[in-house]
């Protein structure tokens, strides 16, 4: 029957596919699906909905705008671009009030709010331990209120345990001259534990009041917070650098040195990837294996020092004169013999040609390619 209906009504908008259970995930391919999901998503912290994002789309609908929603969401590497303006209540972001898991997702777009906890990904975590894995947020956030903004890009208020692995923020967080309490990663740990591993904040802070309640990473970290390989680019004006986070630089962000650091300073790590000299260049680390692994390598033939690269050339390149071709010529007086050498690099396969003048065994007047010459092959290191 459903097949017949579909054939008769191709324009009809169908309900979200899947039932949201662990064996039948909701499939969210577009903004219409997302809106349906926002009203279908579980409100029980003991039985979160399961959902897979199967396409990239734009939306202005926040999950959990009406009440707390609980879900296990796999973004599939897709991008949700949000456009949120919230002047009526605290907590803004792709998810307003949320508990559960989000993985493999890019959240882009803009959030503007005059209320506290203007965020990119989750405004408020409560009632369920929450994990973000492989989540990149590039949302530009604007706080238009005054005083305590409690503004932070990844999560706003932490009221249940939060674990973040391989997550990053790249964007601008804008306030105004009488607003403060802004953080570069998580806004505020109200209670519970926070554990961040392989995370970075490349936040740019704009127009905030200088205040010691501004934090590079998270306000109120305390002893219940664990940072492992966590990096920040900028500290908001007058603010505090959290104990346990390490400063990086714009150059390190773009060169993939930060990526390398996030992988434990090991070549070929699989927490973060970044296209540097293969594929379309990435300006910051990405936690997706569709991008290329990063090494500290002799990046090109002729390189005399190592750099961050998608090529894995751990040692200097060496040309070997394998004599893959040779020609002899009898040139004008005085007669000399020439042999054309073709060198091949055993590391990268690069080739180079060179014409040598060996000592001929033949008499000068009759120099021919008789296969006999006295040139001794050696390896050439660059």
What does the alpha-carbon distance between residue 252 and residue 43 come to, in Å, rounded to a whole number? 42
State which of positions 119-138 bind Zn ion (CB under 5 A).
Answer: none
In the DSSP assignment, the letter for residue 183 is B
Write the burial class of residue 86 (CB in 10 Å: 0-12 exposed, 13-18 middle, 19+ buried): buried
Q: Does 29 bind Zn ion (CB under 5 A)?
A: no
Q: Does 348 bind Zn ion (CB under 5 A)?
A: yes
Terminal CA-to-CA distance of the chain, rounded, Å? 71
Find the angle CA(200)-CA(230)-CA(158) to the nearest 5 degrees: 80
Q: Does 347 bind Zn ion (CB under 5 A)?
A: yes
* Closer of 10 and 349 to Zn ion (Cβ): 349
Say if residues 319 and 380 touch (Cβ distance below 8 Å): yes
What does the alpha-carbon distance between residue 111 and residue 337 come to, in Å, rounded to a whole number? 74
Shortest spacing between CB 380 and Zn ion, in angstroms = 11
* Closer of 334 and 349 to Zn ion (Cβ): 349
Q: Does 139 bind Zn ion (CB under 5 A)?
A: no
Shortest spacing between CB 350 and Zn ion, in angstroms = 4
Report the candidate in 157, 159, 155, 158 with the shortest Cα–Cα distance to residue 167: 155
Shortest spacing between CB 294 and Zn ion, in angstroms = 19
Q: Does 301 bind Zn ion (CB under 5 A)?
A: yes
- List 50, 317, 321, 328, residue binding Zn ion (CB under 5 A): 317
Residue 158-197 contact track with Zn ion, rule CB under 5 A, x = bound: ----------------------------------------
* Closer of 354 and 370 to Zn ion (Cβ): 354
State which of positions 327-346 bind Zn ion (CB under 5 A).
Answer: 345
* Closer of 335 and 348 to Zn ion (Cβ): 348
Question: Tokens at residue 343, please?
Answer: 């060198």
* Closer of 89 and 347 to Zn ion (Cβ): 347
What is the CA 77 to chain-centroid distance, rounded?
11
In the DSSP assignment, the letter for residue 333 is S
Number of residues engaging Zn ion in binding (CB under 5 A): 6
* Closer of 270 and 324 to Zn ion (Cβ): 324
* Closer of 34 and 313 to Zn ion (Cβ): 313
Say if residues 144 and 117 touch (Cβ distance below 8 Å): no
The residues, ordered by sequence, that sit 6+ positions from 242 with a Cβ below 8 Å of its Cβ are: 215, 216, 217, 218, 221, 225, 227
Chain residues that interact with Zn ion, rule: CB under 5 A: 301, 317, 345, 347-348, 350
């Amino acid at each position: 029957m459903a097949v017949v209906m579909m054939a008769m009504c191709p324009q009809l908008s169908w309900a979200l596919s899947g039932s949201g259970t662990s064996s039948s995930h909701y499939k969210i391919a577009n903004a219409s699906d997302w809106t349906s999901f926002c009203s279908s998503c579980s409100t029980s912290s003991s039985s979160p909905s399961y959902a897979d994002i199967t396409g990239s789309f734009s939306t202005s609908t926040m999950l959990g705008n009406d009440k707390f929603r609980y879900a296990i969401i796999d973004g599939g590497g897709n991008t949700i671009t949000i456009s949120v303006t919230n002047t009526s209540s605290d907590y803004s972001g792709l998810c307003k009030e949320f508990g559960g898991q989000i993985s493999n997702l890019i959240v882009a777009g803009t959030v503007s709010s005059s209320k506290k906890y203007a965020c990119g990904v989750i405004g408020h975590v409560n009632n369920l331990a929450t994990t973000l894995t492989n989540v990149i947020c590039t949302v530009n956030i604007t706080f238009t209120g005054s005083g305590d903004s409690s503004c932070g890009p990844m999560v706003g208020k932490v009221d249940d345990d939060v674990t973040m692995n391989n997550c990053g923020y790249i964007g601008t967080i804008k306030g105004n001259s009488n607003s403060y309490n802004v953080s570069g990663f998580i806004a505020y740990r109200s209670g519970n534990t926070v554990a961040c591993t392989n995370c970075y904040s490349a936040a740019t802070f704009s127009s905030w009041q200088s205040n010691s309640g501004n934090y590079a990473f998270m306000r109120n970290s305390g002893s219940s917070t664990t940072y492992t390989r966590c990096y920040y680019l900028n500290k908001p004006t007058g603010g505090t650098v959290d104990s346990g986070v390490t400063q990086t630089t714009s150059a390190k962000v773009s060169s993939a040195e930060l990526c390398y650091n996030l992988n434990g300073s090991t070549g070929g790590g699989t927490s973060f990837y970044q296209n540097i000299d293969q594929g379309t260049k990435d300006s910051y680390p990405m936690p997706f294996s569709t991008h290329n692994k990063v090494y500290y390598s002799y990046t090109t033939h002729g390189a005399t020092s190592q750099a961050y690269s998608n090529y894995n050339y751990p040692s200097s390149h060496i040309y070997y004169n394998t004599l893959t071709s040779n020609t002899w010529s009898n040139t004008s007086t005085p007669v000399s013999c020439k042999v054309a050498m073709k060198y091949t690099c055993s590391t990268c396969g690069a080739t180079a040609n060179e014409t040598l003048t060996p000592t001929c065994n033949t008499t000068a007047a009759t120099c021919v390619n008789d296969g006999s010459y006295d040139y001794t092959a050696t390896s050439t290191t660059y």
